[in-house]
Homo-oligomer: A and B are copies of this chain.
Amino acid sequence: MQLTLNSPLDMHLHLRDGEMLKSVAPLSAHSFAAAIVMPNLVPPVTTIEAVNAYKARILEAIGEERFEPLMTLFFKESYDFAYLEKAKPYISAIKLYPAGITTNSEGGVGTIDSAALQMTLTAMSDLGIPLLIHGESNGFVMDREKEFIPVYEELATQFPELTIVMEHITTKESVAALERHENLYATITLHHLLITLDEVAGGMLQPHLFCKPIAKRPEDREALLSVALAAHPKVMFGSDSAPHPQHAKEACGCAAGVFTAPIALPALAQLFESHGKLDNLQPFVSDNAQIIYGYTPPEKTVVLEKKPFRVPQKYGDVVPMYAGEELAWRIASVR
């Protein structure tokens, strides 16, 4: 059995920098046509110059692969219309982090209210630049995403022309919020379709499945699966693949992030096939995102086949999800 995917897209990806960038960028570039690249470097990517310099480093890292890194700015309240108009040709979106909420987000926004963000959000809305948000409060870990939903809703109401993407949603409440506002969209990761808190902390503690937002309850996973498997037009695949060196994941006080980029398409094919929804993988991993972003990706044909794929224990120094396990699908060819 084969499945042909046209220009698969990863709408939420961490490529890091330096040696890690060189190690992981080719893996994404091999099987995806393009990806939205997160700007949470140290320091964060907050200028057009930094965007272009980072893009150049990514392109150097991927070498000959046909792959378009879709660049993002790290949200600042000081971006005005003139600056964003100048930035627009170089970026696909702006990513907003509440301060301190995840890896390298210390420089994020402290209080999120639409008045304080008025200038920048109005400019983004006028220029058609999507706003991507890591939507978590500083509350109890299982409630953070749910508590952030009123912020999404206020922004969606105040800026009805602004495309707002709820990044890596993990709860049934976020799925429900999608239906209430025309301009709210969402990315969903592979791992949040597969695991709940049980897989992280229900048996032995599993640091390689520890991520932010943390995996939630079974009914949350069901809600995510229902919209992903249906290729609901407001949801897109975004891996949130987040490489950390093995020592940082297995140390006491492990860093948050699951590394899925190189195994995402086979694992998604396995998941969608197991639910009899293989036909919906193309819109989930590409078509929906093209429509939401108004984006036409480079042509790239990824053929998956149903043959066993033993996931490596490591890619470089990074342990992937499913390390050492067998997936039922593999990438047969990329043209």
Q: Contacting A205 at CB < 8 Å: which of B217, B256, B319?
A: B256
Q: Which of A25-33, A153-161, A247-255, A299-307 contacts B (4 or more CB under 8 A)?
A: A247-255
Q: Contacting A141 at CB < 8 Å: which of B140, B198, B208, B249?
A: B198
A291 within 8 A of B: no
How many A residues, CB 8 Å from partner? 27
This chain: how many copies in the complex?
A: 2
Question: A205-231: which have CB < 8 Å to B?
Answer: 205-208, 210, 214, 217-218
User: Min CB distance, A108 to chain B, in Å?
Assistant: 15
* A252 neighbours in B (Cβ, 8 Å): 206-208, 249-250, 319
Inter-chain CA distance A208–B253, complex, in Å, is 9
* A250 neighbours in B (Cβ, 8 Å): 250-252
A204 within 8 A of B: yes
Given A140-B218, A142-B217, A217-B140, A256-B204 contact (CB < 8 Å):
yes
Inter-chain CA distance A256–B319, complex, in Å, is 22
Please classify the interface of chain A as helix (H, G, I), strand (E, B), loop, or mixed, using the class held by over half of its residues.
Answer: loop
* A214 neighbours in B (Cβ, 8 Å): 201-202
User: Quick check: B197 and A200 within 8 Å, CB to CB?
Assistant: no
A187 within 8 A of B: no
**Contact flags (1/0) for A236-262 with B, using CB distance below 8 Å?**
000000000000011111111000000
A171 within 8 A of B: no
**Contact flags (1/0) for A122-154 with B, using CB distance below 8 Å?**
000000000000000000111000000000000
* A255 neighbours in B (Cβ, 8 Å): 204
User: Quick check: B198 and A200 within 8 Å, CB to CB?
Assistant: no
A7 within 8 A of B: no
* A6 neighbours in B (Cβ, 8 Å): none
User: Quick check: A200 and B202 within 8 Å, CB to CB?
Assistant: no
* A251 neighbours in B (Cβ, 8 Å): 250
User: Quick check: B141 and A205 within 8 Å, CB to CB?
Assistant: no
Inter-chain CA distance A254–B319, complex, in Å, is 16
A196 within 8 A of B: yes
